[in-house]
Structure 1
Amino acid sequence: MKIEHSSVHKRLFRYTIPHKKSFFLAFTLLLIATAADLLGPILIKIFIDDYLTPKYLPLQPLVWLASSYLLLQLLKIVVQYFQLLQFQKIALQIIQQIRIDVFSHVHRLALRFFDNTPTGSLVSRITNDTEAMKEMFVEVIAVFIQNGVFLVGIFIAMFMLDVKLAFYCLVLLPFIWGLMKLYQHYSAIYYGQLREKLSQLNAKLHESLQGMSIIQLFRQEKRLRSEFEEINDEHYKAGMRNIKLDGLLLRPAVEILYILAVILVLSYFGISVADSPVKIGVLYAFINYLDRFFEPVNEMMQRLSMYQQAMVSASRVFDLMDEKEKNPVMTGEQKQGVQKGTVEFRNVTFSYDGVRDVLSDIS
């Protein structure tokens, strides 16, 4: 059974509800750190346009500007540390709860499920897949929230500097959005294949180790090696497809958009110089903000690969948690007891699934 991403998002969100106060604190710290970071170029712009360009260099205002800049940078560093610490603490607590829920649910499943499901696949879901989910909370969500707020702040600062040019820069957003959606579409397919092959590798390895005595007794080493090599080769091919996709659509494509944005800004200032003098401080601030804008975009694009891994892993974990066939339990209050001490099996055949016999004609 395949779970849609929207359903996975809702279920993951439910795990965050008990931590809403901690999330509020982390988000408040994030806003403070973002504001401190974005005010830096504004102070440098004031220094260039109001003091350096007109060669007006009074000591007291310059000391005030320099002190304010240093204090903002120090505030940003300190607040960012506690903000990241808070986000990661929440993430680890959520994954801790998910692992306990999965482990407890597996213990309540019927024996037929374990007869039909390789043990290695279960181990992979409870360990590898929950670890990938942890990376999503620790790396992806924290980075997306932080950089999302930062990008909004950058555009606010751009509009404060030059409204017309800021509107021109908004043209870049559809291209960035399209690039992210294209990457998300293909990486979802490739990472699903990669996680599935990893699960098959774990299952094959676990079964081989568990049945080693039988494998060696019947001289099946070559056959098992051939089967393992085949799955391993498929895992390698899936990994290479991911690498090629990352190499094409992550940093190189974003770098091209960044170059186009710089050309746009320089062209705008080059054309406007005929009507009015260019403010060097405003030009510096815009180029600085563009550079700061595309670095978070790069980070978010790179985290999309982790996001895809985590969504595939979360789907596999929730698929396991949605398994309905539970272990039968005793009903009623009557206590069961042995009346006679003789048990006999005569021509017994037994199967969990009704297809493959576990016991055949046992007496």
Structure 2
Amino acid sequence: MPKQAQLWSTFRRLMTYLTPYGLLTTFSLALLLATTVVKSLIPLVASRFIDGYIAGQTTDGLSLLIGYYGLYMAQSLLQYFGNFFFAKVSYSVVRDIRRDAFATMEKLGMSYFDKTPAGSIVSRITNDTESISEMFSGILVSFVSAVFIFTVTLYTMLTLDVKLTGLVALFLPLIFILVNLYRKKSTAVIAKTRSLLSDINSKLAESIEGIRIIQAFSQEARLQNEFDAINQEHLTYVNRSLALDSLFLRPAMSLLKLLAYAVLMAYFGFKWQKLGISAGFMYAFIQYINRLFDPLIEVTQNFSTLQTSMVSAGRVFSLIDQEVFEPAQLGEVEDIQSGDIVFEDVSFSYDGKNQILDKVSFRVNKGETIAFVGATGSGKSSIINVLMRFYEFQSGRVLIDGTDIRQYSQEALRRNIGLVLQDPFLYHGTISSNIRMYQEISDDEVRAAAEFVDADQFISKLPAGYSEPVTERGATFSTGQRQLLAFARTVASQPKILILDEATANIDSETEQIVQNSLAKMRQGRTTIAIAHRLSTIQDANCIYVLDKGRIIESGDHETLLALRGTYHKMYQLQAGMMEK
């Protein structure tokens, strides 16, 4: 449960986002203050009209009516422009917060994404920032206006009659007690409600991502039950929040206002002759009571939204404040020249407890291809994670061109290493934009990369060619076509080192030959590290390393490993037997 100090700290931090818009914010506040001043004059003009014109003490009724409605028009215009400009500031602030959250997310290490559901992250950058938007665009204006109205109205009432104002002021402490009590009881409920909404998003994202598996295993009913359970718990806490709102907000506040009316009317009834209070004065004072209580009622009604916004802002800031993964740097070497790679006794653990790589050593020279094979969990992909610096290794050395990998800048490292994954990821856009991948390369270079990996054969048959739309994850293309586009993307970046992580594992036999030919061309002149499941795809590798529990237990070319009749031989025999069947 967020503590009050944390909520105030979050609020102060939100206010710092107003700094770039100081001039526009000041102008908006000035308009809101002017609105309040004009609004406070309206009951005074009405009082003069009642006591003067209706009572026959003046004949200037038309001027008073024009002034009365003129003030209403001025109030409406000032309020419109004040709200309009404040809303512009508000949405700009929310844009900035969302930008900061997204920028931080892009720089977070892989370990954060390993333990944080994607739906939770999406919820923070969308739902939670939208909640902040509601606070800035509506609630904050309401609060500022309420402060102005309350202050100006109280001052005006004091100038009219100090004693009557004192009677009304007796109810103000009760209002603040109610607000404080509501705040204490609602904070925990609101925090839990937001947390459950994040869980709903996580379950939804997970279900959409794995919908094929859910349907394949007929798990729709089970997933429905799990979703219903979270959804029902969310509803339970929403109802608790509504119950608190219904008890502490308008009914309680309205009751206090009615009590204030009753006290005031009783006072007028018993003292009007002695005090000499006029009808216009009574009307004006009752209007000021409305204007004293109404903003407080509005603020209290919006307090739940404010609480929700503060909790949401806290969740967004917790994302922004995540420690960005900054791999240790020994220097800033800006480019890789050849692509020679050396691992020297490299040990690595994801959690600092379970060793995934245990003193792994190997070498691959420019233009050579090496491959890693082994059972699931043997450490194959971890070698890639270490080389790409997605994670920090604990001991040993990794050298590229004889230089410690930590001396290369992240940009230089990623620019010179081409990574092709088992499941190629395509982005919403076009064929061309997916190959270009935001690089400054021409259309001719895009086409040349596609032709090099034989992707042009199917691209040219598409209705729009290189402008063919690509839906999310490239769902309208076959696995082989997606992989060829991933190859083209990699070739377009002209990397010196090529990493193939099970790049042909999901390719159908019909497409495999095309993919293999493309891979052969891609590997020419490049240092290549391949992780393979199909042993038939790496038989021409210069050296094959067999991993088991983070250690290299066998190494050599294909023929040498078969002659050893060890683990590699067993794997090869097993796959050969399966192919014969």
For normalisation by structure 1, the TM-score amounts to 0.92
1:32 aligns to 2:34 (yes or no): yes
Distance 1:277 1:152 in 2: 27
Q: AA paired with 1:56?
A: Q
**Match among 45, 48, 52 for residue 46 of structure 1:** 48
> How far apart are residue 265 of structure 1 and its match?
0.9
Q: 1:276 to 1:227 in 2, by over 3 A?
A: closer
* Conserved? CA contact 2:101–2:125, under 8 Å: yes
Structure ranking higher in helix proportion? 1
Distance 1:229 1:261 in 2: 47
RMSD after superposition: 2.3
> How far apart are residue 331 of structure 1 and its match?
5.1
Q: AA paired with 1:343?
A: I
| Structure with the greater alpha carbon radius of gyration | 2
1:80 aligns to 2:79 (yes or no): yes
> How far apart are residue 330 of structure 1 and its match?
6.1
SS of residue paired to 1:326:
coil
Deviations 1:235-291 (A, max 9, x none): 110111011111111110011001111011112212213524331111111111112
> How far apart are residue 292 of structure 1 and its match?
2.4
Per the alignment, residue 531 of structure 2 pairs with: none
Q: 1:325 to 1:77 in 2, by over 3 A?
A: closer
Q: AA paired with 2:370?
A: V
- Where do 5+ consecutive residues of structure 1 fail to align? none
* Conserved? CA contact 2:28–2:86, under 8 Å: yes
Q: 1:262 to 1:360 in 2, by over 3 A?
A: farther
SS of residue paired to 1:5:
helix
* Conserved? CA contact 1:2–1:319, under 8 Å: no
For normalisation by structure 2, the TM-score amounts to 0.58
Per the alignment, residue 306 of structure 1 pairs with: 305
Q: 1:17 to 1:249 in 2, by over 3 A?
A: same
Deviations 1:133-183 (A, max 9, x none): 000001111100011101111111211211111112111111111111111
* Conserved? CA contact 1:113–1:325, under 8 Å: no
Q: 1:353 to 1:123 in 2, by over 3 A?
A: farther
* Conserved? CA contact 1:139–1:303, under 8 Å: no
1:1-363 aligned within 5 A: 4-53=6-55, 55-58=56-59, 61-326=60-325, 328=327, 332-334=331-333, 335-336=335-336, 337-339=338-340, 340=365, 341-345=368-372, 347=374, 348-349=378-379, 350=382, 361=549
Moved more, 336-345 or 305-314: 336-345
SS of residue paired to 1:323:
coil
- Where do 5+ consecutive residues of structure 2 fail to align? 341-364, 386-390, 394-546, 551-567, 569-581
> How far apart are residue 63 of structure 1 and its match?
2.3
Distance 1:221 1:66 in 2: 68
Distance 2:123 2:54 in 1: 62
SS of residue paired to 1:344:
strand
Q: Relative contact order (C-alpha < 8 Å, sep 6+): which is higher?
A: 1
Per the alignment, residue 476 of structure 2 pairs with: none
Using the aligned pairs only, state the percent identity: 36
Moved more, 290-299 or 165-174: 290-299
Deviations 1:89-136 (A, max 9, x none): 100010011111110110000001001100000000000000000000
Distance 2:231 2:100 in 1: 31
Moved more, 342-351 or 207-216: 342-351
